[in-house]
Amino acid sequence: MGYIGKEDEIVNMKDYGIETSDSLRDDAKIFAVTSSRMDAGKTTLTAKLIENLSQEYKVGSLKLTGSARERDRLKMLESGSEIFAGLCGCRASIDSG
């Protein structure tokens, strides 16, 4: 068993999370892209939505399931997502673009 460290300190996900707020905006729009199978084009469609929406709006993205590969995360960030959160099995990650 071991730890991930940075400059002799143990790294914890909570130190790199998204800022929290006591209030929620009521004008945020949420889009969900779903399919019942793999390789249906969900990531491609989502990247195009992000690319177009990010021209006028702040866009964040979340992938609830998927592969451990970096391809989808990078595609979302490169398309204009300001932040990406991903859950894959028991591993979670949050990245800012």
Domain ranges of the chain: 58-97
Which residue type occupies 64?
L
Among 28-32, 55-59, 65-69, 81-85, the range with the most confident prediction by mean pLDDT is 55-59
| β-bridge mates for residue 85, sequence order | 62, 94
Token couple for 96: 């800012």
**In this model, does residue 64 exceed pLDDT 60?**
yes
What's residue 95's pLDDT? 61
Distance CA 62, CA 19 (A): 16
Task: Decide: 61 and 49 in contact? Cβ < 8 Å.
Answer: no
Tens-place pLDDT, residues 6-54: 888 888 777 776 677 788 778 888 889 988 888 899 989 999 999 999 9
Alpha helices in the chain (DSSP H): 42-53, 71-79
What's residue 79's pLDDT? 96
Q: Report the run of H or E that residue 86 belongs to, with start and end.
A: strand 83-88
**In this model, does residue 69 exceed pLDDT 80?**
no
